[in-house]
Copies of this chain bind each other. A is one copy, B any other.
């Protein structure tokens, strides 16, 4: 007996015939005959065939597809049954996707609430559809259909018999009309009528009903999961004086400026007390001076751990006020969740069983090769006393900040903490507030990057920071648009971070910052920048991807009105993003022909109902680049000589393109990119 038949799987839930039991009949004979006759394959959206939840956004349609087929040539029917987190269930009929050939069916539904949704696919034999199909063909071919009409009448009678109330009455009325009719062609017309088909579908016994092998989970997030602009700053640098530690109160005066630049999320590195032991000095030196503030990632001191606020930043009430005021400016505060501890973290004394001590009573300091964190030690999630108390304590830390109104967490190095821990923690937090978002700060190998998205991280840092050539950008953005990443991985394109001063920007000057800002803002619904980017800061520690005099180890005061800044351009780009729905996601990007390897030409929203956006970005911060490019007219259903209404979204200039072939020149000293909106409706 084959293994498949012992496995619990999709069931044929049609009438469970009582099989005639013969003497030599074994159990498997019965099981096989009850196995689903209809195959349901390749269900999407699904991650690892339903092991993890695919990602969706509230109020945006979810397109479900599946390959559905069975033996023979009869007509099938299919539907998606979906339900929300509260268990409210709905059904959407599926349609066979034309053109034919691959048996792909589709349906769309739009989730209207947050949290864990699920769907299953059902398919069954469409007996009346098959009958109509045959009757129609034979009737058109002029064949005598007396026999078919009698078959139809019997289907009608059977449908009456299994129906009740109004439906039964309606079907009986059809039957009476059928009986009263004299001519076969009248009867054919009645049997083919839409109303008859509708009633018969309602009365359908759904023979050979098959269900997809499982219920596919779908995590519905709020819009900010896919569309948001992040601004990162160190509050301690916001005093305006490099010798005075900044506070939450100091951040207030920055809020209008950040909001005016068009940002939605204001993200702070850890705000907790900083340890003293092995504190780092400026530029990651191993010995700190007396007044050096230390790395905020060395969390914990005698003043508290992950639940506490660094006293120099202000009080808890100061933090609450900042969250409130920021919200009034349309800015949501995001916090860092970095699990590591400084050697002074209270947990080392209170919970020594959460750590893995070495024979000499020391702890191994943290490393994320090639980086070394001598001021940090890690908990051991599987240490003797860690389960479940450490896991619960960490969950409680996150929950405590959720309780303070923080609903976005940037998670530091999640790939060095256990996968089941994250899957549990995220599900646990979201079970109380499905609007909480988690950004995974993992820079590691691709399978782990994807897995963090699968197990629940809302969005993720990416390789964007290291993709610069036309080939690299095209390949990477295409990969993000395809399964499996499309279903599980929402990219947040950070142009820089306190940890990453990209080599490209170290020497590119202002045009390079504009190039990266354009690529990030137009390429992904999610993008982020760390303060200083708008001032085109790029001075490195020599030969390293690190900032010189990094804020990770010292206070920095900046002149945010310094000449040469790109604040205006960033504000413009963020405004363009807000006003153009195709830019609210990384999905739907297409690359187009341009005759210059240093120009990247792409569109967003070419398929759909919104007005699409076109962009050409020069990848060269030094020299002007020009070239011919082809407007994607045929994809818009237009002829090669069509007239196309466009708007230059940076300048507001409106004009018409005439014909497919166009030419453009981008000057790095002016604007190294162009972005247009196409009027779908106007010629």
Interface residues of A (CB under 8 A from B): 1-5, 7, 9, 12, 17, 19-20, 22, 24-25, 28-30, 32-33, 35-37, 39, 41-42, 48-49, 51-53, 67, 69-73, 100-103, 116, 118, 147, 150-151, 154, 208, 213, 215, 217, 358-360, 362, 367-369, 382, 385, 387-389, 391-392, 415-421, 423-424, 427-428, 431, 445-448, 451, 456
Contacts and interface: CB of A to CB of B under 8 A. Distances in A.
Contacts of A389: 20, 22
Contacts of A421: 32-33
B420 A20 contact: no
A5 B154 CA distance: 49
A144 to B, nearest CB: 12
A39 B147 contact: no
A301 B393 CA distance: 80
Contacts of A213: 51
A35 B69 contact: no
Contacts of A1: 427-428, 431
Given A71-B415, A387-B19, A3 B424 contact: no
Contacts of A418: 37, 70-71
Contact of A28 (B73, B424, B445): B424
Contacts of A388: 19-20, 22, 25, 29-30, 33
Contact of A447 (B102, B387, B427, B431): B102
Contacts of A367: 73
Nearest to A15: B382
A534 to B, nearest CB: 35
Contacts of A19: 387-388
Nearest to A26: B428
14 contacts: A2-B456, A3-B118, A12-B420, A20-B387, A30-B387, A33-B388, A39-B447, A69-B451, A70-B418, A102-B447, A103-B448, A147-B360, A150-B359, A154-B359
Contacts of A42: 447
A400 B551 CA distance: 83
Copies of this chain, tallied across the complex? 2
A565 to B, nearest CB: 39
Of A3, A36, A358, which is in contact with the most chain B CB atoms at under 10 Å from its CB?
A: A3
Nearest to A21: B388
A24 B392 CA distance: 9
B420 A37 contact: yes
Contact of A382 (B37, B417, B428): B37
B71 A416 contact: yes
Contact of A423 (B2, B12, B147): B2
A28 B423 CA distance: 11
A150 B358 CA distance: 9
Given A19-B388, A388-B22, A423 B35 contact: yes
A221 to B, nearest CB: 14
Given A150-B359, A447-B102, A36 B4 contact: no
B423 A29 contact: no
Contact of A49 (B48, B217, B419): B48
Contacts of A22: 388-389, 392
Nearest to A359: B150
A133 to B, nearest CB: 11
Given A25-B388, A72-B416, 18 more contacts: A2-B53, A2-B424, A2-B427, A3-B53, A4-B51, A4-B52, A19-B388, A28-B424, A29-B391, A30-B387, A35-B420, A35-B423, A36-B420, A70-B419, A71-B416, A72-B415, A102-B446, A103-B445
A101 B449 CA distance: 12
Contact of A427 (B5, B215, B456): B5
A647 to B, nearest CB: 41
Contact of A25 (B36, B392, B416, B456): B392
A156 to B, nearest CB: 13
Contacts of A70: 418-419
A116 to B, nearest CB: 7
Which of A367, A382, A423, A445: most chain B CB closer than 10 A? A382
A106 to B, nearest CB: 15
**Central interface residue in A2, A368, A447, by most chain B CB within 10 Å:** A2
Given A4-B423, A22-B389, A392-B25, A9 B51 contact: yes
A480 B654 CA distance: 51
A215 to B, nearest CB: 8
B147 A32 contact: no
Contact of A69 (B36, B431, B448): B448
Contacts of A368: 73
B29 A424 contact: yes
Nearest to A31: B424
B4 A102 contact: no
A116 B2 CA distance: 8
A499 to B, nearest CB: 17
Contacts of A360: 147, 150
A30 B421 CA distance: 11
Closest 3 CB pairs of A and B: A32-B424, A2-B427, A35-B420
Residue with the highest number of chain B CB atoms closer than 10 Å, among A1, A19, A22, A71: A71
A69 B447 contact: yes
Nearest to A415: B71
Query: Which of A7, A53, A208, A447 counts the most chain B CB atoms within 10 A?
Result: A447
Nearest to A37: B418
Nearest to A153: B359
Contact of A71 (B32, B358, B387, B417): B417
Contacts of A102: 445-447
A361 to B, nearest CB: 10
A217 B423 contact: no
Contacts of A358: 147, 151
A73 B9 CA distance: 37
